[in-house]
Amino acid sequence: MPNARAPGRVNLIGDHTDYNAGRALPMAVDVGTTATFEPAPIASLQLSSDAFTEVATIPVDVDPDPRQLGALEPAWARLAAAVVALARPATGGSVRISSTLPIGAGLSSSAALAVALACVLGVEGPPIVVARLCQQAEHLVGAPVGLLDPLTSAGARAGHALLVDFATLTTRDVPLTEAVDVVVADSGDHRSLREAGYAARVAECEAAAAVVGPLGLAGPDDVVGLRDPLLRRRARHVVTECARVDAVVAALAAGDLAGAGALLVESHRSLADDFEVSTPAVDAAVAALLACPGVHGARLTGGGFGGSVVALAEPGAVGTTVSVGGRPRSVWHLRPAAGCLRPSPP
């Protein structure tokens, strides 16, 4: 039976820049989602998951109409149905989904599911082709995400972060030294982007871009020219975040882990103050990690409104849990992994 495995991702720096023609530095991680496909001469896919008890039946010719997809039950299979609608598999059969990714913790479990399913159902082409299809699938089910998550899951290189320029859709592999431990801590504040303010932030950035052009290509003078104080704060985050991405890449190349960590802290302040996507639990998780000796820097990672915190640390500086608000929260020590492993032959 063919199978495909797609990794989750953690974004080291550069959040809310992808849909603004900006830059980001994500990393595929060594936990992910596997889709196993057993073809059969039938006109539907029987989709099951280790994480849910309900089995979904999805016609291979399912309509990519958002209203129909939004009414599909069980709800967990709606994104999968959107991928099927776009991938148009030649045959039906059964698909089993298994995952080592924690859902809702900000490690992009949805992109890993979409990419693994697209790959196992035969979507071909370079990573950007797979990523665009998966992005469109997310949009069909109401999540206006950018390309960062699916592109990382589809195209990362083991041992490296992926520098992505979303203005040109070019990428560059950035080596990560063994001297840095990439730590991700669960804030305990789980969220769904479809239920949070992600769409509002996208709309606010679009409103700012209507005045000054794509925010990822704008400069500080453009930000100052925005009269609306809310739009000015949103634009300032994107402009300064892109500059921080470039600075972190330079710091990593120079082996300056302390400098890279300080930039992560600056990024979190910008996400919390200018972009307003942090939460008290996330702020507390950042503070808890920064209090650990040997942690160079920490920040919110992902779309925000809850989720996880990423830190750059010396190996051994952080254990398997961290106390956030007096409660132990899970910590994952992650290594930079390769993008989607394509289906093995039957």
Confidence of residue 196 (pLDDT cuts 50, 70, 90): low
What positions carry a catalytic annotation? 149
pLDDT above 70 as % of the chain: 96
> Tens digits of per-residue pLDDT, 29-44?
999 999 999 999 999 9
Mean of the per-residue pLDDT values for the chain?
A: 93
Q: Which of 96-100, 126-130, 143-147, 229-233 is least confident?
A: 143-147
Q: Residue 254: which residues within 8 A CB-CB, separation 6 or more? A: none
pLDDT above 90 as % of the chain: 86
Confidence of residue 197 (pLDDT cuts 50, 70, 90): confident
3-175, what's its fold? Ribosomal Protein S5; domain 2 (3.30.230)
Range among 97-106, 255-264, 322-331 rated most confident = 255-264
- Per-domain residue ranges for the chain? 3-175, 181-334
Q: What is the reported pLDDT for 105?
A: 65
What is the distance between the alpha carbons of residues 186 and 286, in angstroms, rounded to a whole number?
10
Cα–Cα distances (Å) from 127 to 25, 124, 197, in that order, read 16, 9, 28
> Tens digits of per-residue pLDDT, 227-236?
999 999 999 9
Q: What is the reported pLDDT for 192?
A: 60
pLDDT score of 345 more than 90: no
Angle at which helix 78-87 crosses helix 109-120, to 10 degrees, equals: 40
Q: What is the reported pLDDT for 343?
A: 65
Superfamily grouping for domain 181-334: GHMP kinase, C-terminal domain (3.30.70.890)
169-172-173-176 Cα dihedral, nearest 10 degrees: -100
> Tens digits of per-residue pLDDT, 97-115?
999 987 656 788 899 999 9
> Tens digits of per-residue pLDDT, 290-302?
999 999 999 999 8
Q: Which of 50, 14, 8 is nearest to 30 (CA)?
A: 8
